Amino acid sequence: MVARLHTPRSGSRTFGALVTAATLTLGLVVGLPAAGLATPADSSDAAAEKAAAEIQAARDRANAAADAAFAAESALDGLTIDVANIEIELADLEVRANSLQTGVEEVAVQRFVSGGGGGIPLLSGLDGPSAQAQADVLIEIVSDTSQSTLDEYDALSKELADKRRSLERAKEREAQAIEDYEAAQTKALAEVERLKKIEAQRLKDEKVRRILEAARIKAQAEAMAAAGDPSGSIVNTGAGNTGKRRSGTAGFFDNGVYIDGNIICPVAGSSGFGDTWGAPRSGGRRHKGVDMMSSMGTPLVAVASGTLRIISSRGIAGNSILLRANNGNTYFYAHLSAYEGGERSVEQGDIIGYVGDTGNATGNPHLHFEVHPGGGSPVNPYPSVRAAC
């Protein structure tokens, strides 16, 4: 496998599309209404396929809704950054205008004292043609300087007015973006709750779990081939978080996609997530992880065996965990509501904390999850999480 830079957004979505395609190739019917849900007691193959399709459709809806919510958040953060930048520019213009104000007032006084003419009283009374010629030069210099100051102040005043209008329009767009984000977030949380109920009913059936696992493995193998690994050697995950130990390979592929086949899903429960790698964030930052929307208090597990470091912070990450895994990678969890246990060695699948909204995630319970190959810089974790969850 050939090392490359992190994958672009378009490439990282390949796996999600293939999951749905693989599900359909197994004869599953997607998008059935809730009224037609199969009952766990009906263990026929047709019922199991129907239930698996319902779960996959619900997962797709939750992921799409979460993706839309996080896209709305990115749009809002981008507008917030724009407003902040305009405010900085406006403040700079106001400082310059205040500085020029003194000069403008002096010009006004000067012209009033001189009677609005070109002469300057202090220079009157000069005797001789040579002295008067020098006075004429001084008068011209002062007049030109005064006019330059007035022209600069006039231009700056117009720029200030334009900048204030720009700020007003930017704040209006920001206010609309806040409404859009809140609506998208509400919808996404509702879809996650709907998924939670469907999975609680349907995943009781072993046949359903096997169908979903087979579909996901098929899709992952196709994703590996599309990423430049025709052998599909990283195929080792199942449907959702089964708690089973996974030990595979990981690496970059020819198209730059990094997939970590060592991990299980970090959220031990229903969640919705999208590819938000590189999206704008407040303060001019760029998003360096994947956000997984889930119910407050949903358990979080160690994606691989390793050593935990707990980070209690009031910063943007809130309550966080750094997992230094035995596979050589480092994994970062943020916004936890609480921890399970303290700093210690953990096995893959051990509960280490719970989904929350600490840090800058207030009102938006989710896990921010990062993958750092070899403990170095983060890579887009979406393909890895999509494969594991």
User: For 27, left (φ over 0), alpha (ψ -120 to 50), or beta?
Assistant: left
Q: What is the pLDDT of residue 239?
A: 36
- Among 263-272, 286-295, 333-342, the least confident range: 286-295
Q: Taking residues 111-117, what's their average pLDDT?
A: 51
Q: Taking residues 169-182, what's their average pLDDT?
A: 91
Percentage, residues of the chain above pLDDT 70: 67
- Among 95-99, 155-159, 265-269, 297-301, the least confident range: 95-99
Cβ neighbours of 387 (radius 10 Å)? 26
Q: What is the pLDDT of residue 23?
A: 38
Distance between CA atoms of 320 and 353, rounded to whole angstroms?
Answer: 9
- Whose structure tokens read 């909204």? 357
pLDDT greater than 90 at residue 203:
no
The answer to the question of residue 267 being in a domain is yes
The answer to the question of residue 261 being in a domain is yes
Q: What is the pLDDT of residue 41?
A: 45
The answer to the question of residue 131 being in a domain is no
> Which range of residues forms the domain containing residue 210?
9-82+179-388
Distance between CA atoms of 57 and 32, rounded to whole angstroms?
Answer: 8
Q: Taking residues 163-190, what's their average pLDDT?
A: 91
Cβ neighbors of 199 (< 8 A, separation 6 or more) are 55, 58, 240, 270
Q: What is the pLDDT of residue 8?
A: 34
Helix, strand and coil percent figures for the chain, each rounded to 5: 50, 15, 35
The answer to the question of residue 90 being in a domain is no
The answer to the question of residue 115 being in a domain is no
Q: What is the pLDDT of residue 31?
A: 31
Burial of 123 (C-beta count, 10 Å sphere; 0-12/13-18/19+): middle
Most confident of 29-43, 44-58, 207-221, 335-349: 335-349
pLDDT greater than 60 at residue 40:
no
Q: What is the pLDDT of residue 251?
A: 81
The answer to the question of residue 164 being in a domain is no
Q: What is the pLDDT of residue 350?
A: 96
Q: What tokens appear for 199 in the block? A: 């999975």
Q: Angle CA(249)–CA(259)–CA(5) in degrees, nearest 5?
A: 120
pLDDT grade for 284, boundaries at 50, 70 and 90: low
Q: At what angle do helices 206-226 and 45-113 cross, to 10 degrees?
A: 50
The answer to the question of residue 228 being in a domain is yes
- Statement: the pTM of the whole predicted model exceeds 0.85: no
Residue 299, domain CATH: 2.70.70.10
Q: Higher pLDDT residue, 303 or 212?
A: 303
Number of folded domains that form the chain = 1
Which helix (H) or strand (E) element contains residue 292? strand 290-293
The answer to the question of residue 120 being in a domain is no
Q: What is the pLDDT of residue 142?
A: 46
Q: Taking residues 269-275, what's their average pLDDT?
A: 89
Q: What is the pLDDT of residue 148?
A: 73
Q: What is the DSSP letter of 353?
A: E
pLDDT grade for 137, boundaries at 50, 70 and 90: very low
Burial of 234 (C-beta count, 10 Å sphere; 0-12/13-18/19+): buried
Q: Which amino acid is at 37?
A: L
- Structural contact between residues 20 and 223, judged by C-beta atoms closer than 8 angstroms: no
pLDDT greater than 60 at residue 59:
yes
Distance (Å) of CA 224 to CA 40, 62, 218, 232, 279: 33, 24, 10, 5, 25
- For 180, phi then psi, to 5°, come to -65, -40
- Structural contact between residues 348 and 337, judged by C-beta atoms closer than 8 angstroms: no
Burial of 336 (C-beta count, 10 Å sphere; 0-12/13-18/19+): buried
Burial of 279 (C-beta count, 10 Å sphere; 0-12/13-18/19+): buried
